[in-house]
Amino acid sequence: MSSSSSSSSSSSSSSSPSSLAVLLVLVTVISVTSAGNLYQEFDITWGDGRGKILDNGVLLTLSLDRFSGSGFQSKHQYLFGKIDMQLKLVPGNSAGTVTAYYLRSQGPSWDEIDFEFLGNLTGNPYIVHTNVYAQGKGDREQQFYLWFDPTADFHTYSVLWNPQRIVFYVDEVPIREFKNLERLGVPFPKSQPMRLYSSLWNADDWATRGGLVKTDWSQAPFTASYRNFHTDACVWLLGRSTCNSRSPVAHSWLSPEMGFANRQKLSWVRRRFMIYNYCVDAKRFPQGQPRECTVS
């Protein structure tokens, strides 16, 4: 992973005020409407050719074999926004594989917002594993089954991140909400810009039934596919956010509340498809629920 692209104030002052103002306006427009060519949005960062951008930048694929997985990262860092990507997960017997899709900042006290898709034996459902890190602390796992086959077609996986909450979406259906509860002493990701990453890798020591089911390498190479990346987000540039109070663009993701319809959908997902919730794991937290779990 690359180091933070934040620049010092001295580097910011090297541009004239007028040219910097024009640059910030242009990037603000780009950040709000970005849905561009994947060559322009991402760098393949590892995998020795196993990650590819195809069809003139329309499609990106990652592959895994017994020698290596692969991964990519966004060219930009973001500080708040809504980020969407369509994924088609590894088909067939994907047991032991993990397709990770996440936002992460740099440094020892990093922030992170995770989707991880845990493969399984043919015919069994994928597990969607989610987690939130704030200032280097995670241990906030929630897991779900999906209500469709995520290997048969592309589906949209989104993160909405604003100063009040983080919401995970699948096809615009909210599956998880993590609220800002700093008033209770719970850290919340709000000051560190994060880059988008994805990787496909072997995790058969833990991913499928706690490591009981191992990767069947006769099925390799395993391939996950990506398309239709879209952001409505604040890009971090020259040590500052491109969004500010004077921006003429209204950001729908800044709304502090989810709304009644989305709350109903969230309740439906949690009731029907949640299979693990750290908040009720008494073995891990014998002293009682973490503080953020005590507020509905």
- Structural domain that includes position 262: 9-282
Question: Tokens representing 82?
Answer: 């809504």
Confidence of residue 252 (pLDDT cuts 50, 70, 90): confident
Q: Which residue has the tokens 């993701």?
A: 253
Instruction: Dump pLDDT digits (tens) for 97-128.
Output: 999 999 999 999 999 999 999 999 988 899 99
Q: Is the model's pLDDT at 254 over the cut of 70?
A: yes
Our count of domains for the chain comes to: 1
On whether residue 288 sits in a domain, the answer given is no
C-alpha 199/C-alpha 222 separation (Å) is 12
* pTM for this predicted structure: 0.86
> Could you confirm whether 257 is annotated as catalytic?
no
On whether residue 292 sits in a domain, the answer given is no
Which residue among 116, 172, 177, 292 is the active-site one? 116
CATH number at residue 235: 2.60.120.200
Strand partners of residue 237:
240
Instruction: Dump pLDDT digits (tens) for 212-230.
Output: 889 999 999 999 999 999 9
Which residue among 112, 141, 172, 177 is the active-site one? 112
Confidence of residue 242 (pLDDT cuts 50, 70, 90): confident
On whether residue 2 sits in a domain, the answer given is no
C-alpha 154/C-alpha 273 separation (Å) is 20
> Could you confirm whether 292 is annotated as catalytic?
no
pLDDT value of residue 16: 41
On whether residue 291 sits in a domain, the answer given is no
On whether residue 161 sits in a domain, the answer given is yes
C-alpha 221/C-alpha 62 separation (Å) is 10
On whether residue 76 sits in a domain, the answer given is yes
Report yes or no: 222 and 62 within 8 Å, Cβ to Cβ: no
Q: Is the model's pLDDT at 71 over the cut of 70?
A: yes
On whether residue 49 sits in a domain, the answer given is yes
Instruction: Dump pLDDT digits (tens) for 263-292.
Output: 999 999 999 999 999 999 999 999 999 999
Which of helix, strand or coil describes residue 22?
Answer: helix
Extract long-range pairs of 27-31: CB within 8 Å, 24+ residues apart. 27/235, 27/237, 27/242, 28/235, 28/242, 28/243, 28/247, 28/249, 29/249, 30/235, 31/76, 31/78, 31/81, 31/231, 31/232, 31/233, 31/234, 31/235, 31/242, 31/243
